[in-house]
């Protein structure tokens, strides 16, 4: 097992939705993962469009998660989807992956 891993294994752009599937690993245990969608046409650090946080009580070393974004997207706009993996405390980021796309 990789010590720290975060991989968006699928980003699906549907007719009216965007969904993501991701896999994460951390040998010392995962306390939390999250998905974050930002609008790249504005300052991405302040323009989070949608997010999902998943907290784990049992602190697994590997996870598979999926998410369908709920926020309405603007046609022709550029977005970035992030998947973050945090250590067993759920505070310290240990790995991430990101995918850019344009909603058409």
Mean pLDDT by 10 residues, the chain (104 residues): 86 87 97 95 83 96 95 89 97 97 88
Look at residue 70 in the predicted model and tell me its pLDDT: 83
CB of 97 closer than 8 Å to CB of 6: yes
Which CATH number belongs to the domain containing residue 73 in this structure?
A: 2.60.40.10
Q: Which residues of 74-96 are buried (b: 16+ CB within 10 A; e: fewer)?
A: eeeeebebbbbbbbbebeeebbb
What's the total number of domains in the chain? 1
Give bridge partners of residue 74 from the DSSP assignment: none
Look at residue 2 in the predicted model and tell me its pLDDT: 56
Look at residue 96 in the predicted model and tell me its pLDDT: 98
Q: Give the residue numbers spanning the domain of 71.
A: 4-102
């Amino acid at each position: 097992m990789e010590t720290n891993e975060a991989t968006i294994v699928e980003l699906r752009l549907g007719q009216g939705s965007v969904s993501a599937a991701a896999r994460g690993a951390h040998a010392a245990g995962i306390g939390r993962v999250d998905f974050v969608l930002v609008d790249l046409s504005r300052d991405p650090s302040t323009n989070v469009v949608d997010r999902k946080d998943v907290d784990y009580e049992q602190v697994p070393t590997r996870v598979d998660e999926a998410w369908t974004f709920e926020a309405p997207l603007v046609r022709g706009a550029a977005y970035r989807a992030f998947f973050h993996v945090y250590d067993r405390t759920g505070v310290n980021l240990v790995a991430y992956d990101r995918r850019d796309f344009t909603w058409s």
